Structure 1
Amino acid sequence: MARMISREGRSLLVQQGMPRRPLGDLYHSWLAAPWRRILAAVLLLYLGLNALFACAYLLSGGIENAREGFFSDAFFFSVQTLATIGYGRMSPVSLGAQVLVTIESFCGLTGLALVSGLVFAKFARPTARVLWSEVAVVAKQDGVTSLMFRVANTRGNQVVEARLRVGMLRFETTAEGERVRRMHDLPLVRAESMVFALSWMAIHPIVPGSKLYGETPESLRASNAEIFCSLTGLDETFSQTIHSRHSYSVDEILWGKRFVDIMVTLPDGRAAIDYTRFHETKPAPLG
């Protein structure tokens, strides 16, 4: 069965039967959309609005120094009016044109205020730059078989009061014979960090009581298990909460492997982290 959560932690489930409301949550859609889509939407709206008013000016007439029937003159007069530029060469002289100019200038002022506010909200929205290891590993750690993965803060600042939670999603069969999807917490050796500035090795001991105890790659694959990770913390620069999510499928969990050491010493004696080896693993005993 296909995975239900993407590697970035987003749901891959297809919603069926839910009413579609394309205009019901525009603000959320704006904040979640990529910048290229935002810029394309603003540009299309700007050109479309000017084209609409240009057609209205052509129908109403009354634009001094504009050539009759020339769409380009009407379009560029609309651009000047919408942006309240007003070079003075072309101007409205009829009542209909004056009304259109009034409406368009109002649309321009309102639209500029709205777009400015939305762009600022998107700029001000804090985002996390967190690097997750491409795979998780299962190997001995301090004498205990453990599930491990790496996470690092790739931004130069610090994330204070960082908290990491790990869970496992899998299918199970109830006593009534019903197949259900359940989430189980996987406690970590260290689930909180006062200052998350460099890298963090998340370790879940696979001991009696753990939902991974006694599991094998085959049994996890049969239950379509996925490991879901969530990191939250307070960004010191914005003083706002940031979050990052990730998931590992069964095929992205390597058994009998451990991560290589990424701490190195520079020639001048300073300690450094070699992120080029962040995802590298090496063989390790399981038991």
Structure 2
Amino acid sequence: MGGAHTVRRRRAANAFSGASFNFTKIGASRYDLSDPYHAALTVGWGAFMAVVGGLYVLINLLFALVYVAMPGSVANARPGALLDAFFFSVETFATVGYGDFRPATPGAHWVATFEIVLGMMFTAIVTGLVFVRFSKPRAKIVFAEQPIITIHNGAPTLMIRLGNGRMNVLTDLKLRLSALVREVGEEGLSFRRSVDLPLVTDRYAIFALTITLQHRLDSGPLKGLTEQHMLDDEMRLFLTVETHDPALGADVHALHTYAASDVAWGRRYADAVSQSESGMTQADLTRISLLEPEI
């Protein structure tokens, strides 16, 4: 009709929670069934196993009903016994034959052939999904519960401490800190935008114990920042971490966010790295978030 087309919009509100950042989206599904692969990788293990188990039972039940609808199709099965047909379907679906139940008619042989092919495909897909879920590299970065703002080298400085939660050394650490700030344009409209916060050091060759990243507040987009301003603007900090884990042979990523109310002003981090009695440097990751008064 004149090139016109109708756009169907699906409206759905779903709550997401990730990296301590809660938000909602309208028009997006938490688990998009049009992309089952993504849904299968993002759903929790409990839900994943429930879906796989439910599909397994449902498929075998459907085939069992087909066999029951074909009298005499399964040898040694009780006439009309759904349970016998179900277990025959399970054995066929898994390509396991115990010699008791077997197809007894040409029609049953055709159905069993189709079920065997479907069973091999189902097993291959589930095996692949389980492998991918297990093999995804995961970062084990320990983040301090609170960022701090303290005087460091004569300037107010925003600091965040993080620790390496693995027993092996991580390499090629890259850090990026940004803030979600509220601004008012010339038209008087309020909007939010993300600004990068330059770090004193944003790359490290190795990450063995702990690191404290620093952003100086005497310059940059947050120059002159006050605690009240931060709270009034509902500012939020985003810290992304990328590093290489030699044990996994892969790059790993982590994201952590902080609300304005999480920031501790006029405090500093207590020591978390010390020397053991044997002279070995040790990090106490249970102290990663421990604060003490500013000197």
State TM-score, norm by structure 1: 0.91
Given candidates 80, 91, 95, the residue that maps to 1:69 is 80
Task: Give the structure 2 partner of residue 190 of structure 1.
Answer: 201
1:9, CA displacement in angstroms?
Answer: 5.8
Task: Give the structure 1 partner of residue 210 of structure 2.
Answer: 199
Q: Say if 2:272 and 2:284, in contact at 8 Å, map to a contact too.
A: yes
Pick closer, same or farther for the CA change 1:170–1:5 going to 2, 3 Å.
Answer: farther
Mapped to 2, the partners of 1:5 and 1:170 lie a distance apart of: 21
- The percent identity for this pair of structures is 33
Given candidates 218, 229, 242, the residue that maps to 1:219 is 229
Residue-pair matches, total = 280
Pick closer, same or farther for the CA change 1:235–1:262 going to 2, 3 Å.
Answer: same
Pick closer, same or farther for the CA change 1:15–1:145 going to 2, 3 Å.
Answer: same
1:90, CA displacement in angstroms?
Answer: 0.8
**Equivalent position SS for 2:23:** coil
Structure 2's unaligned 5+ residue stretches are 1-14
Deviations, residues 144-173 of structure 1 (Å, cap 9, x unaligned): 211111111201233221100001102110
1:21, CA displacement in angstroms?
Answer: 8.4
- What does 1:1-287 align with in structure 2 at a 5 Å threshold? 8=19, 12-17=22-27, 22-61=32-71, 62-207=73-218, 209-284=219-294
Mapped to 2, the partners of 1:271 and 1:138 lie a distance apart of: 27
Q: Say if 1:63 and 1:97, in contact at 8 Å, map to a contact too.
A: yes
Q: Say if 2:161 and 2:210, in contact at 8 Å, map to a contact too.
A: yes
Mapped to 1, the partners of 2:53 and 2:139 lie a distance apart of: 28
**Equivalent position SS for 1:49:** helix
Mapped to 1, the partners of 2:16 and 2:33 lie a distance apart of: 26
Mapped to 1, the partners of 2:42 and 2:32 lie a distance apart of: 14
Question: Given residue 252 of structure 1, which amino acid in structure 2 is its aligned partner?
Answer: D
Q: Say if 2:217 and 2:225, in contact at 8 Å, map to a contact too.
A: no
Could you tell which deviates more after superposition, 158-167 or 34-43?
Answer: 34-43
Q: Over aligned residue pairs, what C-alpha RMSD do you find?
A: 2.0
Mapped to 2, the partners of 1:22 and 1:268 lie a distance apart of: 55
Mapped to 1, the partners of 2:194 and 2:230 lie a distance apart of: 13
Higher relative CO (Cα under 8 Å, sequence separation at least 6) belongs to 1
Deviations, residues 161-205 of structure 1 (Å, cap 9, x unaligned): 110000110211011111111111111111001112221111111
Deviations, residues 8-64 of structure 1 (Å, cap 9, x unaligned): 165x43222458983222222222222222222211111111111111111113111
Question: Given residue 159 of structure 1, which amino acid in structure 2 is its aligned partner?
Answer: L
State TM-score, norm by structure 2: 0.89
1:77, CA displacement in angstroms?
Answer: 0.6
